[in-house]
Structure 1
């Protein structure tokens, strides 16, 4: 029996002969899930918003109306509409069928739970691909550590992040885009209202995500309408790049509304009504082919300012944060890398031409001896290391502790594929799903050492969600990053490191500040030999 507030009982007695599946009365309505052999109750495909179809396509989510009949919650809901992944992608795995009625979530809860911390997972996938129900995100192992785990779907691609003048004109707030982010906020509202029914504490919610999911975590921290919906945050491989503004040319980014109008014309749609009449899968496929890269938008309403501005100004949520990156982030994302020069001398000349007075710092950090490794490290640090340390310093300024990690673990199949600690490679260890990775993912061996590392990481993550301090029995204490730059590196086992991140942070922070001051240069993967000439030092 799961307990709610003031001892209210939410599980209903079952009277059907032989029925063993758990039946729970959520405030939203009754649902019958499944009971696992290891003492968990799992509820899948629970809708938190109405289907964003027809006239609701490209509008903020509408809370799902409460239901009265018992909902079968044994299977996940639709994944959100998305194009096929890149051919040969190691991230391409099994997902449920896609559909526009995809705004649903899955829950894993220990039986007899009461007042447990809640861990809300936001999947990655470049805001284009993925689903909360992918096998690698199965929440069972984390739930067994004494949490209620929730994994959500949100609109992707053109459906999640299209801005357009007509859509802004429809909106009472005069904005458009950010529908995927608004979905996430609506899901958190559903969790706050309903999660006590399965023993979760609505006042102890941790939002967590990797890659685009971590970008989403940063956006939720910066979004005024998400304030109060979570108490802690975990951002894995977050990248605080420049974002388009809704109507203005800023930081070298075209206005999002202009890009949306251009995309509509490229798809042969003269207006939003035409786009709403098109078949959803065709829209998703053609949008990607037309070069549309979805990303949250600075609209002055959902996101009042650039993420870096929010964290500089201290307007983000003052919550404890666990953040970090993998040492080989870009090894599985080599399409982001520029072509390498023909020689070390040419590399050094390029760096001097592009970085001016900072060229010495750049070459000290990323020397020409191995240009490929230098390029990989430059991108990793510009996107991920800088972001982690930036967030840590900003949270510390607000009085909230931040804990940083670097995942630097090697295993044979990844090493053989030159994918040492690649982007996302920590996820199976945290979720305890090393046997449920996508088909092309380098296979993780079923050894005691791999299991021990997974156990340690799962314990650190669940402890942070429970108390705000990551701890694992028998392993190193995890100190807050500041004041001395200490963090945890996960190699063969966890160990504490210090100091190594500051030099990279200082260099890339100077670069970003100069670009921001210039006002017409984005900051993303245009670094190293792909960098535009660096503006003069900010005075």
Structure 2
């Protein structure tokens, strides 16, 4: 009798991973395995525009995951100019990237996961920002790293629900919903890449930092991450439906102006759902530039407190202990506001905008605030006032409130190459990112360090990376960095030589407490 013996199936390559929707094939380079452009939700196009993210559409066979997905439609402008115009963009942008070390000891399976949310004012940027992003973390063989794109601008951060109809429903908080969907994808799929879905650290800078803070108060995100790191977060940037409804109406009028005399687009819902994405970006840019002038201290592309998906203002949730009780690292840079100039000047820095902010504050607090920023509204104190208003003081409030219910560590990044100091920028908004990601070979860093300072800048990034890595792996930081409390307010100052200070800039903090008691 003949017995048939089937040949054993060849072992599947580590580059082939089954995820929601099918199998993806990654690439290997420089000691890193990378899977890029993996869909974490269905393309939000056509009838899915302005709708909550839907489940991934399955694909046949093996999907090539060697290239990044589309960046969200944007004007390619911003602090670091956003994504390059050469990078493909489109509304079909809901993709995620995963990195691991090429060689991982067996005992490292089920590794901690770090997920990065990019910044860019919720209008520019992508998961491609910073060459080599995340590779410095994964080469240690200790973590799995993820990053993702989400809807930006009007497509993700304006609330058009007032124009929703039965025939054409429109939902709110779309960019925030995308972020939750990406974290749900991590929860469902990261084991296939060697990660532990119950040990996720969420990291974000600028708008991404705001996203971390907001997700910490979003009910749908509960349990999707174990700890957070918020860098330079504009923590107070979240607005009510009443405020955002007015911005939505302005946007519709701007969009309508791009289609004069077109009677077929009389309905706002029709206009919004059929307009070209380029026109949505153009109209959004006009609104974005106008808002800080008409309503100083606000930024129209921000999370919406819709009472449902985001039930309350994040700062209120932190104040009342209703944020997710996960450990948090939060901090800002020395002079956040100095880089916002010209068309980028969205902060309350001009005399008129500063005066508008003062008019909202108790008259009894004005003298203390002017003492905290001598020379206001001259250029340097105005930059510091604007940066502290948007980034530093709200972040300190988050740290203060959250320290009552969870472990918090606060930092300030002070390192700036000599040219940045000569230009009066110092350690400004976003300067730490190139050092953190060891992305030091590009033109921006070469220019920034042309007059020296590369070595201390690089070293500061290495130390920061070690802190972030230890936090992601253990939930704690080095013993030299004490926890933050309302009593001592111990803060790590990341400088040429790191140090710990108690309540740095306490005079400013006291001034802001009187100046903005309702924040």
Which of the residues 504, 508, 512 maps onto 2:512?
A: 508
Which of the residues 364, 368, 378 maps onto 1:361?
A: 368
* Structure 1 residue matching 2:305: 3-state secondary structure: coil
2:350 corresponds to: 339
1:526 corresponds to: none
Matched, 1:100 2:91: yes
* Structure 2 residue matching 1:289: 3-state secondary structure: helix
Query: 1:277-296 counterparts in 2 under 5 A?
Result: 277-291=274-288, 293-296=300-303
1:408 corresponds to: 414
Distance 1:75 1:487, change over 3 A: same
**Unmatched 5+ stretches in structure 1:** 1-10, 15-20, 342-346, 517-539
Distance 1:323 1:12, change over 3 A: farther
* Structure 2 residue matching 1:434: 3-state secondary structure: coil
Matched, 1:13 2:12: yes
Structure 1 residue 449: deviation in Å? 3.3
Q: What whole-Å deviation, never above 9, does each CA across 1:424-462 have from its counterpart, x for those lacking one?
A: 001112111122465897247685433322211110111
Which of the residues 22, 43, 47 maps onto 1:51?
A: 43
**Unmatched 5+ stretches in structure 2:** 1-9, 260-264, 292-299
Which of the residues 475, 481, 500 maps onto 1:478?
A: 481
Query: 1:48-127 counterparts in 2 under 5 A?
Result: 48-85=40-77, 90-92=80-82, 94=84, 96-111=87-102, 112=104, 113-127=108-122
Q: Distance in 1 between matches of 2:216 and 2:129?
A: 25
Tell me if structure 1 keeps the 8 A contact 2:418–2:453.
no
* Structure 2 residue matching 1:82: 3-state secondary structure: coil
Structure 1 residue 417: deviation in Å? 2.7
Structure 1 residue 138: deviation in Å? 1.3
Q: What whole-Å deviation, never above 9, does each CA across 1:135-163 have from its counterpart, x for those lacking one?
A: 34611111123211111100000110232
Query: 1:249-288 counterparts in 2 under 5 A?
Result: 255=246, 258-259=249-250, 261-268=252-259, 269-270=265-266, 271-288=268-285
Q: Distance in 1 between matches of 2:443 and 2:192?
A: 31
Tell me if structure 2 keeps the 8 A contact 1:118–1:465.
yes
Matched, 1:152 2:121: no
Q: Distance in 2 between matches of 1:284 and 1:119?
A: 31
Q: What whole-Å deviation, never above 9, does each CA across 1:395-442 have from its counterpart, x for those lacking one?
A: 1222x1111111111212322332211100011121111224658972
Q: Distance in 1 between matches of 2:247 and 2:166?
A: 16
Instruction: Using CA pairs under 8 Å that are at least 6 residues apart, name the structure with larger relative contact order, 1 or 2.
Output: 1
1:533 corresponds to: none
Q: Distance in 1 between matches of 2:22 and 2:218?
A: 29
Distance 1:439 1:157, change over 3 A: farther
RMSD: 2.9
Structure 1 residue 359: deviation in Å? 2.4
Which of the residues 369, 379, 387 maps onto 2:386?
A: 379
Tell me if structure 2 keeps the 8 A contact 1:407–1:491.
yes
1:497 corresponds to: 501
2:436 corresponds to: 430
Which of the residues 171, 191, 216 maps onto 2:211?
A: 216
Query: 1:90-239 counterparts in 2 under 5 A?
Result: 90-92=80-82, 94=84, 96-111=87-102, 112=104, 113-136=108-131, 138-145=133-140, 146-165=142-161, 167-170=163-166, 176-239=171-234
* Structure 2 residue matching 1:418: 3-state secondary structure: coil
1:317 corresponds to: 324
Tell me if structure 2 keeps the 8 A contact 1:428–1:437.
no
| Greater mean alpha carbon deviation, residues 185-194 or residues 91-100 | 91-100
Q: Distance in 2 between matches of 1:147 and 1:256?
A: 41
Question: TM-score, length-normalised on structure 2?
Answer: 0.85
Tell me if structure 1 keeps the 8 A contact 2:98–2:145.
yes
Tell me if structure 2 keeps the 8 A contact 1:106–1:133.
no
Q: What whole-Å deviation, never above 9, does each CA across 1:145-182 have from its counterpart, x for those lacking one?
A: 3211111100000110232245544599x973311110
Tell me if structure 2 keeps the 8 A contact 1:177–1:296.
no
Q: Distance in 2 between matches of 1:266 and 1:65?
A: 36
Question: TM-score, length-normalised on structure 1?
Answer: 0.82
Distance 1:438 1:298, change over 3 A: same
Q: Distance in 2 between matches of 1:171 and 1:12?
A: 50
Tell me if structure 1 keeps the 8 A contact 2:235–2:398.
no
Distance 1:362 1:485, change over 3 A: same
* Structure 1 residue matching 2:387: 3-state secondary structure: helix
Tell me if structure 2 keeps the 8 A contact 1:135–1:437.
no
| Greater mean alpha carbon deviation, residues 425-434 or residues 502-511 | 502-511
Structure 1 residue 479: deviation in Å? 0.7
Structure 1 residue 503: deviation in Å? 3.3
Give the length in aligned residue pairs.
480
Q: Distance in 1 between matches of 2:447 and 2:173?
A: 31
Query: 1:293-304 counterparts in 2 under 5 A?
Result: 293-304=300-311
* Structure 2 residue matching 1:205: 3-state secondary structure: strand
Q: Distance in 2 between matches of 1:323 and 1:485?
A: 13
Distance 1:257 1:12, change over 3 A: farther
* Structure 1 residue matching 2:304: 3-state secondary structure: coil
